A = this chain, B = another copy of it.
Amino acid sequence: MLEKPFITLTTDFGLRDPFAGLLKGVILGINPRARIIDITHNIQRHNIFEASQVIGMSYRYFPSGTIHVVVVDPGVGGHRRPLLVSTGHHFFIGPDNGVFSSVYEMSAPDYTVIHLTSSHYFLPMKGSTFHGRDIFAPVAAWLSRGIDYHKFGDPVEDYNRIRLPGVTLTDGKTLKGTIISIDHFGNAISSITGDDLAKLSPGASLHNFRITFKNRALPVADYYAQAEGAGLSALMNSFGYVELFVYGDSAAGKFGIKTGDSVVLSLKKRGRGD
């Protein structure tokens, strides 16, 4: 039995149907001591990219040993394989459709991918439309009881990955990124990270860059309220990404920002005093 048998859930089930509750019932039937935490059940239906992003930005805030179940699974019941991924510190359980792409990227090369084939750990299968309940939840529960993860199947190397939006560097001083998500507040998060800035110019902060979005130069702030009255602005957010926002309003709503839109950062010339 793990000392802290934490299991998180990330799905596109929504919160109207009882699907998320059923996963919890199944888990608690196998391990009554499991502690289950919802990351979100409102991933856009079948949006594997969004699921990959959400679990990638979330998992490191959970205790070491946490088991993360991710069920965004349009291919359920067909040829796509069920997987268990171990990074040594965290476990991930879900379909082999690319939902773990950001996990692979963040923990490379220290991870193992197991094809779940030990069906005695599954529920007796009554159909092929709900592997969340019948495969992923019970495997997570057995794993949380301390079963060695190698017992659930054999390692595979040919698992699926999706292409994650990155950042392009041009002319040695310009970074081109894209808007990768819009949050509940209408803030627009770009693919450009603090690491990208640091690589281009060690020690640089966002203030050393000229930020352009749809031909508009954006003021840079350190926190939201600092940009009161300044319209569309940019800051480095608490996940380490460049974020566009409007203080007290929805940037996405007000400026029609969509995922996939481009953001450009150019390193300013430094003055003599720098």
Write out, one digit per residue, whether chain A residues 240-262 have a CB within 8 A of any chain B CB (1) or not (0). Answer: 10010001100000000000000
What is the interface of chain A mostly: helix, strand, loop, or mixed? Answer: loop
**Which listed residue, B28, B63, B77, touches A222 by the CB 8 Å rule?**
B77
**Which listed residue, B10, B78, B184, touches A13 by the CB 8 Å rule?**
B184
A91 at the interface (CB under 8 A from B): no
Is B28 a contact of A35 with CB atoms below 8 Å?
A: yes
Which residues of B sit under 8 angstroms from A240, Cβ to Cβ? 126-127
CA distance A54 to B184 in the complex (A): 20
Task: Across the interface, name the chain B residue whose C-beta is closest to A29.
Answer: B63
Shortest distance between the CB of A14 and any CB in chain B (Å): 4
Write out, one digit per residue, whether chain A residues 96-136 have a CB within 8 A of any chain B CB (1) or not (0). Answer: 00000000000000000000000000000111111001100
Copies of chain A in the complex? 3
Which residues of B sit under 8 angstroms from A184, Cβ to Cβ? 13-14, 16-17, 19, 45
Which residues of B sit under 8 angstroms from A63, Cβ to Cβ? 25, 28-29, 32
CA distance A58 to B20 in the complex (A): 10
CA distance A19 to B45 in the complex (A): 19
Among A13, A28, A238, chain B packs the most CB atoms within 10 A around the CB of: A238
CA distance A80 to B226 in the complex (A): 12
Given A15-B40, A80-B225, A126-B238, 17 further pairs, Cβ under 8 A: A10-B18, A17-B183, A18-B39, A18-B57, A21-B37, A22-B61, A24-B37, A25-B58, A25-B62, A75-B225, A77-B226, A127-B236, A127-B237, A129-B224, A129-B238, A130-B237, A133-B238
10 smallest beta-carbon distances between A and B, as pairs? A77-B223, A127-B238, A14-B184, A130-B238, A25-B62, A21-B39, A25-B61, A78-B225, A16-B42, A128-B223
